Amino acid sequence: MPTLEDASFAIIPAHALALLAPLRDVAGVTVALDASRARVAFPRGQRAVLERLLCAPGVELYERRENGWHRAGSSLPAFDLDTRGSFMPLARALTPSRVEAEIAPQLRVAPLALTLARSEKPRECTAALYDLRALCAWADMASSRVIESFRAALQGERVLLLGANPPWLDGAQRYWGERVLCPLGLELTPPAPESAICEALGLREGEIVIVGEIGGEVVPASAFALFTRAGLRVAEQELEPRPS
């Protein structure tokens, strides 16, 4: 009398094929797939394959006899069983098809020009650019605590002070910002985060940029030092006398 172990063909839902994954190396197991089902052919007597197939919902098992295919346990031939088609090894059916890499289209980015525009938004002054001699005159009257609350960078006769609310002196240019210094009353447009501007300019750690009407000036981190009255006087003494 035929038993289930005589089966050598099965039809299961396509999504249930994953149940056979541990048997991908078993010889002789082949699969034909369509949108909704998988037809599985396997050697007769493969108990491990049968045990996995019986776990699939709605499984149909078939066995080969002298007069053709029969549904397992049935004496009537299965005339409507289709065993034709393109069968592939189980391992190939369980493995995704080869992925063909495609070259992404070249991204073309138009350069974006930043310009200064008028701004009515109130902002706190965080830096100012002074004439050295004018700053020395102010320092004669300022307390050491106020003076030493700033960091300074010296270039020739110009001194850049960084810190909250630097002194208001005639002729000084006052700025807002942290690493991108814009003149008070102006702002960069189109607006962009300061971090993005620093990255676009390739600023290194500690460097700042002073934005002007016709460009920007990068000040290196090494240019800054603690602002002191003594250091200011030394810098003033090294200046060439102004013509009378």
Q: How far apart, in Å, are the Cα atoms of 118 and each of 110, 184, 194, 195? A: 25, 9, 18, 22
Kindly state whether residues 85 and 146 are assigned to the same domain.
Answer: no
- How much is the average pLDDT of 110-125? 84
Helix (H, G, I), strand (E, B) or coil at 52: helix
Cβ 229 vs Cβ 144: under 8 Å: yes
Q: What is the DSSP string of 125-176?
A: --EEEEEHHHHHHHHTTS-HHHHTTSEEEEETTEEEEESSS----TT-EEEE
Q: What is residue 206's DSSP assignment? A: T
Confidence of residue 97 (pLDDT cuts 50, 70, 90): low
Q: How high is the pLDDT of residue 110?
A: 64
Kindly state whether residues 133 and 228 are assigned to the same domain.
Answer: yes
- Total of domains in the chain: 2
* Structural domain containing residue 74: 4-94
**pLDDT at residue 98 greater than cutoff 90:** no
* Lowest-confidence pick of 2-6, 45-49, 135-139: 2-6
Neighbours of 117 (CB within 10 A): 11
Kindly state whether residues 119 and 211 are assigned to the same domain.
Answer: yes
Is 104 a domain residue?
Answer: no
**pLDDT at residue 210 greater than cutoff 50:** yes
Is 108 a domain residue?
Answer: no
pLDDT digits (tens, 9 = 90+) for 118-152: 998 999 999 999 999 999 999 989 998 999 899 99
pLDDT digits (tens, 9 = 90+) for 185-201: 999 888 888 998 888 88
Most confident of 2-16, 124-138, 202-216: 124-138
Helix (H, G, I), strand (E, B) or coil at 177: coil
**pLDDT at residue 164 greater than cutoff 70:** yes
Is 45 a domain residue?
Answer: yes
Helix (H, G, I), strand (E, B) or coil at 17: helix
**pLDDT at residue 1 greater than cutoff 60:** no
- How much is the average pLDDT of 88-110? 74
Kindly state whether residues 79 and 148 are assigned to the same domain.
Answer: no
Q: What is the rounded distance in angstroms from the CA atom of residue 19 to the CA atom of residue 16?
A: 6
Is 106 a domain residue?
Answer: no
Kindly state whether residues 31 and 82 are assigned to the same domain.
Answer: yes
**pLDDT at residue 39 greater than cutoff 60:** yes
Kindly state whether residues 56 and 124 are assigned to the same domain.
Answer: no
Kindly state whether residues 135 and 217 are assigned to the same domain.
Answer: yes
Is 244 a domain residue?
Answer: no
Is 132 a domain residue?
Answer: yes
